[in-house]
Amino acid sequence: MGKKIRVELPEYFTISHYKKMGSFEHLDEVEKIIGTIVAMTDYTEQDVMTWKMDDMFKVYKGVESILEDVNGEFYPVFEFKGVTYGFQPISKMMVGEWMDCDKRLEDPIKHLEELMAILYRPVVKENFRDLKWKAKSYIRHLMGKPDDLFKMYDVEEYDTEKREWRAEIFKDLPIEYAMGALSFFLHFVLQLNKDLVISSQDLTEIQKEAMVKMLEIAILDLQYPNTTDGSIYSEILTPPKSSTSPEQEP
């Protein structure tokens, strides 16, 4: 009788899981599946290699049920591990904050938890009144339009030492919160660059038109955030969060 494989899957897809997956561009479909399972479970690649193909696909369907919940929505205010965090928009940023963000945007995925630790900081003053919260078992967020919410709170002053240890905490943050924030932030960065191009005195009208078109295309692309490699998440089923393979006959 074959061995019984039991996999306890995490409750949600974190920044840490996402970064462990790395780049799948050079892998074939089965290698992508193996990489995803390894990133989301305690099993190693060597472990998965000893499984039957049918067992591997059963476990992967359980992983897919978690990935289904990932979206690119932007959450201005959320509560995570007992702390309420607020997004720091560009309009409220100091020069040092902006420079640290800009440096890490050169490789945003590598520095994703650090970016989040700059963009989100504990709320120290708020006027949320009777605004509604939406909660999951592991996190909750405040509902409302970003522009309205930005006026209702202030976050902790920027501190590079606190950024470092907060980045460690944010490794466990749901990836959808990170990707939504990154997409939102990049949208404003591109919009800022577009405004700078339009007002530039050093560019010809032809150069301005070409650069503006390129920036508008990039801004449009950010309206359709994609947090995972969609090519491997097709035909998704929704099994329980814990997937157990049946016992196999020898």
Asked if residue 250 belongs to a domain, the reply is no
Asked if residue 249 belongs to a domain, the reply is no
- Residue 189 backbone phi and psi in degrees, to 5: -65, -45
Q: Left (φ > 0), alpha (ψ -120 to 50) or beta: where does 22 sit?
A: left
DSSP 231: G
Residues 140, 144: Cα–Cα separation, whole Å: 13
pLDDT at position 106 over 80: yes
- State the chain's mean pLDDT as an integer: 78
Domain containing 11 equals: 6-70+229-244
Residues 117, 107: Cα–Cα separation, whole Å: 15
Residues 61, 233: Cα–Cα separation, whole Å: 9
Residues 62, 57: Cα–Cα separation, whole Å: 9
In a 3-state reduction of DSSP, which class is residue 162?
helix
Q: Can you tell me which residue has the tokens 């061995």?
A: 3
If asked whether residues 86 and 149 sit together in one domain, one would say: yes
Which amino acid is residue 55, in one-letter code?
Answer: D
Identify the pLDDT of residue 191: 67
If asked whether residues 143 and 217 sit together in one domain, one would say: yes
If asked whether residues 216 and 94 sit together in one domain, one would say: yes
| pLDDT tens for each residue of 125-173 | 999 988 999 988 889 999 988 888 999 999 999 999 999 999 999 999 9
If asked whether residues 133 and 207 sit together in one domain, one would say: yes
Report the percentage of the chain scoring pLDDT > 90: 26
If asked whether residues 124 and 151 sit together in one domain, one would say: yes
If asked whether residues 99 and 176 sit together in one domain, one would say: yes
Instruction: Supply the pTM of this predicted model.
Output: 0.71
Identify the pLDDT of residue 239: 32
Q: Which residues pair with 115 in a beta bridge?
A: none
Asked if residue 1 belongs to a domain, the reply is no
In a 3-state reduction of DSSP, which class is residue 89?
coil
Asked if residue 88 belongs to a domain, the reply is yes
Count structural domains, the chain: 2
- A 10 A CB-CB count for 77 gives 25
Identify the pLDDT of residue 156: 96
If asked whether residues 37 and 118 sit together in one domain, one would say: no
Asked if residue 164 belongs to a domain, the reply is yes
Taking alpha carbons only, the member of 63, 68, 53 closest to residue 7 is 63
Identify the pLDDT of residue 212: 63
If asked whether residues 44 and 157 sit together in one domain, one would say: no
pLDDT at position 240 over 80: no
Residues 16, 7: Cα–Cα separation, whole Å: 18
If asked whether residues 27 and 123 sit together in one domain, one would say: no
If asked whether residues 112 and 172 sit together in one domain, one would say: yes
pLDDT at position 19 over 90: no
Asked if residue 157 belongs to a domain, the reply is yes
Q: Which residues pair with 79 in a beta bridge?
A: 84, 140
If asked whether residues 88 and 21 sit together in one domain, one would say: no
